[in-house]
A and B are shown apart, each in its own frame.
Chain A
Amino acid sequence: MKLLEQIWIVIIMNLRSIPQRFGMSVATIFAVAAVVGVLLFFLAMGNGFKDTLEGAGSENVAVVTRVGSQSELNSSLSREQVNLLSTAPGIAKDLEGNPIYSGELYVIVDGYKKTTNSKVNIPMRGLSTEGFALRENVDIIEGRVFTPGRNEIIVGESVLREFSGFELGTKVTFAKTTWEVVGIFSTGGSAFDSELWADTRTVQDQFRRGSSFQTMRIRLETPGDIQPLINYAEADPRLNVKIETEAEYFSTQSNALNNIVVFGWIISVVMGMGALAGALNTMYTSVAARAGEIATLRAIGFSNISAFFGTVAEAIILSLIGGATGIIIVYFFVDGASAATIGASFTQVVFSFTLSADLLQQGMLLAFGIGIVGGFFPAFRAARMPVVTAFE
């Protein structure tokens, strides 16, 4: 038996008759497109955020914070602690044999979003030039590096793009201090691009931090191996610190953003119910419109399997067209678009919506699911249609 050919001809007939249900079919396509679009919006957001944070995290660098602090912002380390740790084993040395590390400050300052003009928190990092060496691909793309001891800042390129008033040469005021923008830097799209950088000492002075730091970054002798540092810290009661690789540190920070992905799925599934109702309605209409055709085919001797699959295939094809439409919309309007959202330290992290093959697959899978379920019940009705209908 040529079952496949039977099914194929029924599918062709169904698809060619879609123009007779044009309005409904288009509405179904757009409902599915909306669902897939919303899903991909959130998934691309989560994905982009993750990329940004993970791009920032290196296996070669350890981040030291005070025990119990959730993030850099509420951590604090004394000069003594930093000095002690700098003598620990497992730290990479420079050509002169000095350990490579950087004590850093992390404070928040006010900024204004260009798009909404709303007030947001921007992180400002105090670091030494050693700190530059602890980050991959730091690139001064305009101007120069800040001069130690002066109120000068360099601005991450994402900050320049998203927030107003950080152009090169501008003077900015935070609380009672005034700073001059002397350079723009890029770390290639990582979370550091959402920061302002200034000299450690100057930040300590201007923000009245005395000689204390908040975090310490250390270049590891062996990438990923923080055990010698941990052992050293545990042996000394003065060092109640938490030591993680930078990659670990950022991935913990990005866990909060998993909620975005979960939220995206929930919204999409709820919306998906609506699209499903639309698909069911369209397909029941399709089956009713084709009742005579289906019954005639059955009278000729076609099996009810062909009626079943013909109907399911129509629903799946409509849904997949919808899914593809959603993807195209997201691809052109959202992918690569930049957004800023609140990161773990309640500061702004600028990231781009990033689609990936995996996300597109998830979107199409959702569309496919809507098609299967939306086609199944109407197809069941088509398969059970009494043949005598053909004679009425």
Chain B
Amino acid sequence: MTEGTTNTTDENLFQLTNVNKRFTKGRESITIFDDLNMSIKKGEFLAIMGPSGSGKTTLLNMLGGVDQPTNGEVWFDGARIDKLSENGLAKWRAANIGFIFQFYNLMPMLSAARNVELPLLLTNLGKKRRKQSIDAALELVGLKDRAGHKPKEMSGGQQQRVAVARAIVSDPKMLLCDEPTGDLDRATADEILTMLQELNREYGKTIVMVTHDPEAAKYATKTVHLDKGEFVEKGSV
């Protein structure tokens, strides 16, 4: 057996092994993670909580392949991703990851449908098939009638639903969400969270969600607490 197969078991989608993360600026260097180990199971809806500055976003970035560990290994579905090239990672992200951001990160100049189409431009789907996928994704988030609207013509909750549609349109295995409800009121937040829960339960998406909000964490199947770069026990979870 090679090291690769020993590092991820069948049920683990993500595996972080001895991960070390330092930010260096000039002569100053801060260590965010020191020898971090973590695994995320397929089908899990994991909430990551923790105080500001504890490294939640940094962790999510490493999982999403937009940031690399200083030392250690990141495995995804049996393959190591932390050594991929910039464009190799871009391709990997296009195929496997859907991102949902706190501030939606929609393209202001494009309609909802065009925003949702973006990940499909990285696939081989033709125009007709793309249209079908866009319609299905917008239908799923309940915004089919808003396809032609620009982001600024929609509420925050609606924009985040477009962002969810964009994240799932190319059917990635994994959704990574950084404070997806951080900018929304309670009721709207609950709508989005219910939607994520449904995507996890009915569509089998593995989800990692960073949140400050204990109410949000209740939608997850598992919650971990991060403090100063380490996982800590908290309550009964």
Chain A residues within CB distance 8 Å of chain B: 1-2, 5-6, 9, 12-13, 16-17, 292-293, 296-304, 387-388, 390-391
Contact = CB atoms under 8 A, between A and B. Distances in A.
Given A297-B107, A390-B66, 9 more contacts: A2-B123, A6-B121, A9-B110, A9-B121, A299-B99, A300-B93, A388-B61, A388-B66, A390-B105
B94 interface: yes
Q: What 7 A-B pairs come out closest when comparing CB atoms? A: A301-B94, A16-B109, A387-B66, A296-B105, A301-B93, A13-B109, A301-B122
A391 B178 contact: yes
Contacts of A17: 108-109
Contacts of A391: 57, 60-61, 66, 101, 178
B122 A1 contact: yes
27 contacts: A2-B123, A6-B121, A13-B107, A13-B109, A13-B110, A17-B108, A293-B107, A293-B108, A296-B99, A299-B93, A299-B99, A300-B94, A301-B97, A302-B118, A302-B121, A302-B122, A304-B86, A304-B87, A304-B90, A387-B67, A388-B61, A388-B66, A388-B67, A390-B101, A391-B61, A391-B66, A391-B178
A232 B151 CA distance: 88
A5 B107 contact: no
Contacts of A297: 107, 118
A1 B94 CA distance: 11
B50 interface: no
A9 B114 contact: yes
Contacts of B119: 300-301
Contacts of B60: 391
Contacts of A301: 90-95, 97, 119, 122
A283 B121 CA distance: 25
A388 B62 CA distance: 10
Nearest to B96: A301
A80 to B, nearest CB: 84
A296 B122 contact: no
Contacts of A292: 105
Contacts of B99: 296, 299-300, 390
B122 A2 contact: yes
A314 to B, nearest CB: 12
A304 to B, nearest CB: 7
Interface string B64-99: 101100000000000000000011001111110101
Contacts of B87: 303-304
Interface centre among B110, B122, B123 (most CB of A within 10 A): B122
A67 B178 CA distance: 89
A303 B87 CA distance: 6
A9 B118 contact: yes
